[in-house]
Amino acid sequence: MSRRLGENLSSRYFEAANKMKTKTARKRIVAYVESYDDVFFWRTALSRFEDDKRYFEVMLPSRNSLKRGKKSVLMNLLSQRVGECMIACVDADLDYLLQGVTVTSREINSNPYILHTYVYAIENYQCYAPSLHNVAVAVTLNDHRIFDFNEYLTLFSEACHPLFVWLVYMYRIGHFGEFSLTDFGRIVEPGGFSIEHPERSLQNVSRKAKGKVAQLRRRYPGAEKDIQALTDELRMLGVTAQNTYLYIQGHYLFDSVVAPIMSKVCNRLRTERENEITQTSIHHLQRNNEMACYERSIEDCKAMLKKNLGYMLSTQFLQLQKDIEHLLNLIPETAGKDNEHAHDFQSSHEHEE
């Protein structure tokens, strides 16, 4: 049986390392995340809780210790090893809404040393509707409000919501093979979107979603009471008909819904600004200089979406902040003092092969 450091790594290891420090040293809390894209989000979420007593270090499991990869891998490796000095930070996926139906869901919902996003994934936060106009302004430096992102995603959510409740129901009863996240994403994809007629894509989503709901009702005729009860339960968990977009698969929402819309809106705003420069320039040299300056100042849509921090006032992110506060209430602030037992514990781990 292998006894390498990576297989013995736990919160006790980092706790021992902290105890070797002086009383005045800050306590180090290692926060393991799933992928490179998660590092910035969790650094943002955790940083406001750092002080002269403690700090977080957001890390990816390295190839020498823990395997990098999906949440399932991270959970399998860390669920029994997290504690005061080592925490796991993961996307909620559907596990938050499954409320203990699976082992992973039970762990995420009950272990205070495992933080989760509440929304499906970090991408859902990046697509937080009230913040998207600001993203468009940051990309194009044009504050003309030509599209209402908030209204569109509200109507999109309302079209998706009944089908989404069925999706959660199918996962709860273990019948996700009949209706999966992939199936859901394919059905609610808006298709061709135009700024002039956004209602057409919404009508397309609504038509397809209603058709699938009707099919599921015929397949499960006795499920109506369960579906109504689940709708009420999901509302208590934060899922409403108006914000369902926050709980659907994050990569799908980002790549298939919000990014394409953002691209079209930004292209229109960029064209507006370029036309304005052309019309107000006195001569070609001035126009060329202004245009060059503007081109250097604008940003890429997807890159700016990934940097979007407008979600920080959302209900779900504030709930995550409360979870971090609760976590820190369980953790002593001081790093400790020199401790012979702690030194022996760390040394034994460092030399196990």
The pLDDT tens digits for 214-261 are 999 999 999 999 999 999 999 999 999 999 999 999 999 999 999 999
Three-class DSSP labels, 168-223: HHHHHCCCCCCCCHHHHHHHCCCCCCCCCCHHHHHHHHHHHHHHHHHHHHHHCCCC
Question: In this structure, what token pair is assigned to residue 248?
Answer: 């659907």
66 pLDDT exceeds 90?
no
Q: What is the DSSP string of 41-72?
A: HHHHHHHTT--SSEEEEEEPPPTTSS----HH
Which residues 6+ apart lie within 8 Å of 234 measured at CB?
A: 97, 165, 168
In terms of Cβ atoms closer than 10 Å to its own Cβ (0-12, 13-18, 19+), residue 341 is: exposed
* Cα–Cα distances in angstroms (integers) from residue 300 to residues 76, 99, 142, 323, in the given order: 37, 38, 14, 33
pTM of the model: 0.85
Residue range 138-197, pLDDT digits in tens: 999 999 999 999 999 999 999 999 999 999 999 999 999 999 999 999 999 998 899 999
Distance CA 5, CA 74 (A): 16
**pLDDT band with cut points at 50, 70 and 90 for residue 80:** low
